[in-house]
Amino acid sequence: MAGTYNNILELINNTPLVRLNRVTEGMKGEFFAKLECFNPGHSTKDRIALHIIENAEKEGILKPGATIVETTSGNTGFSIAMVSIVKGYKCILAVSDKTKPEKIAFLKAMGAKVFLCPANVPADDPKSYYQVAKRIAEETPNSLYINQYFNKENTHSHYLTTGPEIWEQTQGKITHLIGCTGTGGTLTGAAEFLKEKNPQIKIIGVDAVGSVLKKYFDTGELDPNEIKPYQIEGLGKNLIPGALDFSVVDQYIKVSDEPSAYATRELALKEAMMVGYTSGACLVAARKIEDTFNENSVVVLLFPDHGSRYMTKVFSDDWMKSQGFTKSKLNGLESNATIERVK
């Protein structure tokens, strides 16, 4: 029937590009958010889960009744679990203990088996979620390890979808693409396509204070001294992902937990965009380089996921206070909403 879909997976891709108005007031140029939360799994990771799994099916790697294994900070796991349900696969996920309970609850609700691993250990530690997922895949017959950090199909999925969508939505007028990098697939996959269309488009990567990516981009050195705990999920790394194509990145910007948290709340209160912590980080990065934009700039910010997965984090006053992000520093970004019980 017209206007209907055969399953939830047919809703993946073709997410909207929405103008930013109040949060970029006073900045030169036009600014747009690529709202990846409009994917059915509420994040950009739907794209890679569907592409990698269907690619493995075409190559004959995935057999009926297979188990799909992955390392995830939450969003990729949810997307893989969703695709697995529709396609009839089992799903096992190794998750960092930095991941908030609501994300883990999402994974369990989608039928995934979850292994919770310590976040602040080296990537080669047997307890790290990288090594745990790898071990489970090796020990599980008829399994596929997605390995999003080193799987080039991660990047290629965005070359095939996200990049062309942005090019078409901006009618080829895009001048800057700004995005947070964890695996790096979203930003650099889209960038590979856009650079082919126009090599003058500037690609801005966003990294977290406590991550090694910016220094590696600047110097070619992986410096362990850069690694420190931080709170932004899905941004930065303590290793260099093979899916991250540094050759298409023009500049890296570092952002920290506190301003990124405020910016996430600001997007909700000023733009009515209920988006995740990395979206706030992306906005902070854009503001840090606002003097590089002019009246002709068309800037696209990649907003990877939905704010519903951060209700006990950046949208929780108690969590904000626990991090030392005090009400006096919110500068009007606390919600004025109240709850009154009718008796």
Which residues are CB-contacts of 202 (< 8 A; sequence separation ≥ 6)? 175, 176, 177, 250, 251, 292
Give pLDDT, residue 341.
66
Other C-beta atoms closer than 10 Å to the C-beta of 209 total 16
| CATH code, 17 | 3.40.50.1100
Percent of the chain with pLDDT over 90: 83
Give pLDDT, residue 326.
72
Over range 231-242, report the average pLDDT.
92
**Residue 26 within a domain:** yes
Are 137 and 219 within one domain? Answer: no
Hey, which residues does 143 pair with through a beta bridge? Answer: 67
Report the chain's terminal Cα–Cα distance, integer Å. 49
Are 192 and 269 within one domain? Answer: yes
Are 169 and 298 within one domain? Answer: yes
pLDDT band (50, 70, 90) for residue 332: low
- Look up residue 20 and give its amino acid: L
Are 131 and 237 within one domain? Answer: no
Of 223, 229, 224, 234, the C-alpha closest to 120 is: 229
pLDDT band (50, 70, 90) for residue 335: low
Over range 12-22, report the average pLDDT.
98
**Residue 104 within a domain:** yes
- The domain boundary residue, chosen from 118, 145, 172: 145
**Residue 335 within a domain:** no
Question: What is the per-residue pLDDT across 80-116, written as a single tens digit (0 to 9) for each?
Answer: 999 999 999 999 999 988 777 878 888 999 999 999 9
Give pLDDT, residue 110.
92
Distance CA 153, CA 150 (A): 9
Question: What is the per-residue pLDDT across 246-262, written as a single tens digit (0 to 9) for each?
Answer: 999 999 999 999 999 99
Q: Positive or negative, the Cα torsion across 87, 91, 96, 101?
A: positive
**Residue 12 within a domain:** yes
Distance CA 49, CA 54 (A): 8
Of 232, 253, 236, the C-alpha closest to 323 is: 232
CB of 245 within 8 A of CB of 155?
yes
- The domain boundary residue, chosen from 83, 116, 145: 145
Are 220 and 290 within one domain? Answer: yes
Give pLDDT, residue 230.
93
The catalytic site residues sit at 45
pLDDT band (50, 70, 90) for residue 44: very high
Higher pLDDT, 208 or 62: 208
Over range 27-51, report the average pLDDT.
97
Are 91 and 232 within one domain? Answer: no
**Residue 20 within a domain:** yes
Report residue 323 as tokens.
Answer: 């991090």
Give pLDDT, residue 104.
87
**Residue 336 within a domain:** no
Containing structural domain, residue 197 = 8-39+155-329
Are 113 and 159 within one domain? Answer: no
Split into its structural domains, the chain has a count of 2
CB of 46 within 8 A of CB of 117?
no
Give pLDDT, residue 165.
98
**Residue 61 within a domain:** yes
Whose structure tokens read 């790096």? 184
Distance CA 74, CA 45 (A): 10
Distance CA 147, CA 151 (A): 6
Please give the mean pLDDT across all residues of the chain: 93
Are 258 and 308 within one domain? Answer: yes
pLDDT at residue 330 tops 70: no
Are 57 and 196 within one domain? Answer: no
> Could you please report the per-residue DSSP string of 34-94?
EEGGGSTTSBTHHHHHHHHHHHHHHTT---TT-EEEEEESSHHHHHHHHHHHHHT-EEEEE
Are 233 and 116 within one domain? Answer: no
Report residue 258 as tokens.
Answer: 């506190």
The kind and range of the H/E element at 309 are none
Cα angle vertex 67, ends 64, 73, to 5°?
Answer: 140
DSSP E strands, 191-279: 202-208, 251-255
**Residue 150 within a domain:** no
Q: Report the relative pairing of strands 143-145 and 67-72 from DSSP bridges.
A: parallel
Are 103 and 247 within one domain? Answer: no
Percent of the chain with pLDDT over 70: 96
- The domain boundary residue, chosen from 119, 145, 171: 145
Question: What is the per-residue pLDDT across 72-84, written as a single tens digit (0 to 9) for each?
Answer: 877 899 999 999 9
Question: What is the per-residue pLDDT across 137-190, written as a single tens digit (0 to 9) for each?
Answer: 999 999 999 999 999 999 999 999 999 999 999 999 999 999 999 999 999 999
The kind and range of the H/E element at 299 are strand 298-303
Distance CA 37, CA 46 (A): 10
Give pLDDT, residue 72.
84
99 burial level (CB within 10 Å; 0-12, 13-18, 19+): buried
Are 190 and 319 within one domain? Answer: yes
Give pLDDT, residue 103.
80
